Amino acid sequence: MANTVYVINGPNLNSLGTREPEKYGTATLADVEKLCRETAARFGLTVEFRQSNHEGEIVDWFHEAKANGARGVVINPAGYTTTSIAILDAIWAVGLPTVEIHITNIHAREAFRHNSYISKAARAVICGFGVDGYALAITGLAAMVGAKS
Ligand code: DHK
């Protein structure tokens, strides 16, 4: 798995496409997966694409990524962004370069969405580009880890 990046999606992103489309758009999670795979392939990278509504499962995936020799992680922590010290600690524990992405501009939304625990460990943060942010996150991660197009 030396050329693999994990793309981890948090709670409710399984409903992408039908969930509040005025905020999150109409692309589905399957569309996002395709975008991620196509973007990663340009840098010779393959993608492990995951989604969970359960915090502990997301923590486990960081440890799995490390054990499998992944190059890095892109995560949309969704509703766990502002609550999960466990995911923050997992990022620090495994030490993999991690890019945080949000579809919406969380800083232009309700105040309770502004304070990200994940940002304290992420190497970079992207928000507000819609699902295109996933392609930007993978492109940035590829540059961070020296994966060439
Ligand atoms: C997705 C969510 O589910 C929210 O909980 C976050 C994020 C924003 C997004 O923009 O991708 O607050």
pLDDT value for 117: 98
pLDDT value for 85: 98
Q: Is 134 a catalytic residue?
A: no
Nearest ligand 1 atom, CA 80: 5
Alpha helices in 48-131 (DSSP H): 55-67, 85-94
Catalytic residue among 6, 24, 80, 117: 24
- d(CA 132, CA 76) in angstroms, rounded, equals 13
At 112, the pLDDT band (50, 70, 90 cuts) reads very high
pLDDT value for 40: 98
- d(CA 134, CA 43) in angstroms, rounded, equals 14
Give residue ranges with CB within 6 A of ligand 1.
12, 76, 78-79, 81, 102-104, 106, 113
Catalytic residue among 6, 63, 80, 102: 102
Mean local confidence (pLDDT), 26-45: 98
Mean local confidence (pLDDT), 14-26: 97
Q: Report the number of secondary-structure helices (H) and strands (E) in the chain.
A: 5, 5
Q: Is 24 a catalytic residue?
A: yes
Query: Per-residue pLDDT for 1 more than 80?
Result: no
How many other CB atoms are there within 10 angstroms of residue 54's CB atom?
11
DSSP string for residues in 29-63:
HHHHHHHHHHHHHTTT-EEEEEE-S-HHHHHHHHH
Question: Residue 25 corresponds to which tokens in the numbers above?
Answer: 């758009």
At 102, the pLDDT band (50, 70, 90 cuts) reads very high
At 137, the pLDDT band (50, 70, 90 cuts) reads very high
Mean local confidence (pLDDT), 45-49: 98
Mean local confidence (pLDDT), 61-80: 98
At the top level of CATH, which class does the domain 4-144 belong to?
Answer: alpha beta
At 30, the pLDDT band (50, 70, 90 cuts) reads very high
- d(CA 73, CA 141) in angstroms, rounded, equals 8
Number of residues written out for the chain: 149
pLDDT value for 2: 82
- d(CA 106, CA 62) in angstroms, rounded, equals 23
